[in-house]
Structure 1
């Protein structure tokens, strides 16, 4: 009987309940307010009023965080994401903005410095500050990890939105009492802010134990070589546009291969007459013009045995194709290898950007950049991977074996580099092995 009565009771609009509970918070009754947020939020959800539930939970999370109630705020933030899942809300810019607003409410408090470790009061103060910092980092991490998981399921880039990865990496690094660069790198390499990533690494160099700095740099650069930098957060719309390009480019010939193929960072097109003709038509299509303008990507031409233009407008790769011609090149082994090389070079560019940015920042901050055999190896690798030089790559691995063996995971990463850049198949490789390796490194 009570359940039926509860269903008959009208649930007030979200804004009315927001104002009501805000007063409870202002009175200092944070626990009571939290129970009200959770119970009323659950009622909105059970009534399928998901939009109101989102407004209500977002407000609750922000209000609790503004009042320093990190545990309560983080709990409501996670409930906000769970509501996105239950309501099957697609990933879009508006929802990303809402996630950012909650994230910005998580407090940033510096741990007290220059304390007297022999003083009991100072030690107590430090202990409490470290515990609070850990709570903040864990609460924010739980919220943003849930947001990444939701976004992947509902339309974002396959690695999750780079903006959320950047937020998570930055908060973990700045607020966590433990400097876990593997975990920080896990998210920065999936973000799109190499300057901030470089800044975090340079800061780490100044406070880590001897011998840890070059390991952190090498790990970060190797991972950049392997992970796709999320240049295209519009993957679904890109595929739809690609289908339209292929359809329009066929000119009614059903069996004739379309001169366009997806490479993950742009459209590849045949450099012949048919491809150029289709390109001209394509660039006049408003949808494509808007897409390429929005993403900064370009068409990639393949002509004869060379890639001619790429995302940066210059030559990105060369090399003979062993099978087939430019037309319909995705159906041939040689074309597929060229495509793999292009994607790999995109990763190499990101690794070079990160390395260059670190070198700039160490000069400005007057921090010593690591000088070790491991750093020599990284610099040589960046140059070697620009060309078809598998023998040189293998020679470097042998020459710097002792440095590589300092961290066992480096051998696994280099095996992945060999496969990605040179097509060397790993023995007994399991599908998804790299993802498992990286999660093991980061503890994710």
Structure 2
């Protein structure tokens, strides 16, 4: 993964991502303490509502923002989003009412919904070599896992000398440093002339390409699997550790570190593996293993019996590894499934559709877990994950070749596309993606 970092532009952007993620982690902890300060025992409901607002902003606004901002310079969009997030973090320590938290979180996540898809779509334009880009995807996964591991530790150290309001200052600094690092980069402009398309077409283009591409329909199904099991871990680990095992906060940190460590291990190993086998041959077995582990763990805790602590941590390491093996290669699929000018739209579609899966699984993991018990909710989520696996098997062809032979009965012989690719008759073959000349996936040939 060192070779990808030898690209100075990518190395700077990766550093900006890490710094911003650390700031976000500090804000997450500070937000929980702020919610408790304002709402007391109802803090969980406040945070639940805030996270729901986050998902609504991600799902509803990211395609709109991608269509609206495509004609602006990437650097200006990324810096503006960072400055907006810094402004929200600066305002959060001064809130006095719960509704103010909701309003600021909506603004914050709106900025993130504009930043993240454009940031993700920029990386394949910088790292044009597929192996380098695969390394970048693994580094991004590592960055998210390190944020989950380091932010709580950093927050605990800071809280020894400052109040939780001071954590928001760390968030502000993180976003400002991120903006400054982005400003140093020479980013490529958006490709093509997508701004000449009507807004309605720009708004739906990403999702249309996404849902018309078999491998991406399979990816969406696997996103559901990852979200189902991931939601159980992220929402209910605290219940398992604190209530069922009766252990303290340090044990909770160990459990989440086990999950994050498994994810990091998979991210480190994946670049070499993906250089030898196809994405489907990694992601689908990982999804099957992830769902199987969920069913096995549900069987173990049936009747409120608990496995030994070491076995519980082993489960969480394995779940983290297979969870990462599903999510990490997704960028490769997006990259090969659209032309450069359509990448911002298709990354925005992935951002929205994947978070739509979390909109289903997060409330299910939380509310059903509270009222029906952890075994019942894990069985339901595992069944939902299995549905995702079976859907991916059907939607994602085993022989999903990139170069596909096809014809264009709707195009005249003198069309530029026909002249560029014609070989014999009207049949020709090339790397197939959904675009203006290819509006449906070939069903034969």
| TM-score computed with the length of structure 1 as normaliser | 0.27
Query: Of the two, which has the highest radius of gyration?
Result: 1
| Structure whose residues are more often helix by fraction | 2
| TM-score computed with the length of structure 2 as normaliser | 0.27
Bigger RCO (CA 8 Å, 6+ sep) = 2
